[in-house]
Amino acid sequence: MRASPLCLQALTHRSVGGTNYERLEFLGDALLGLIVAEWLYTTLPKASEGELSRVRASLVKRETLAEIARERALGDQLYLGQGELKSGGFRRDSILADVVEALIGAHYLVLGFSATQDFVRMLFGARFERLPSAESLKDPKTRLQERLQSSGLPLPVYVIVEATGEPHQQTFRVRCSLSGDKLAAEAVGGSRRKAEQASAEAMLSLLNEREGSKRVR
């Protein structure tokens, strides 16, 4: 497989030329989603569709694939143009993740689906054996909303306190507050969504602290 022209193509960034990993990455992305979905469907027979989706998303996200690429030292094997080399493309999460998917696509074209399933399981290794719980993968806004709803409380309110920077690169400060409660939490993020998620996480921490102090009393 290492000597395959498709494998070399899977390691070649578009900055090098026309024959690069982009088409293989497209194929590998679809294959990865299918193989992981089938694995989870079989491994977690009692999980709901939403739970399966959250676990799958955690496994196939860019950060996870980039971690796998680093574990396999794929950054050292990349073919990059001079511009990408100088800017550290071999360390960039987006490129590393794309290469993993491209290699999956190349593996399929050379060796077929069954071998590709084995290849994916080898790449993910212990990650398939230590699956995170679906509950732990819920985003902070969802966890906060569910916590409040279970207590019969109103939903939180998110307000943009400040937005700074150029339109294409803004930073947002968001306040999360609870109706009828003096508790409020603020956080900063590179987008409104990220700032809201961070403020929800901060609010959950405040609620935990308050509940902990009540138990101590």
- Catalytic, 181? Answer no
For residue 12, the cross-strand partners are 79
Residue 85 has which token pair? 């080399």
Q: Which tokens belong to 146? A: 């569910």
Catalytic residue among 93, 101, 146, 162: 101
76 has catalytic annotation: no
Q: ∠ at Cα 206 (201, 210), nearest 5°?
A: 150
* Residue 25 assigned ligand-binding role: yes
The whole-angstrom separation of Cα 59 and Cα 56 is 5
To 5 degrees, how large is the angle CA 38–CA 41–CA 1? Answer: 25
Residues making up the annotated binding site for Mg(2+) are: 25, 98, 101
**Which residues are catalytically annotated?**
29, 101
Residues making up the annotated binding site are: 25, 98, 101
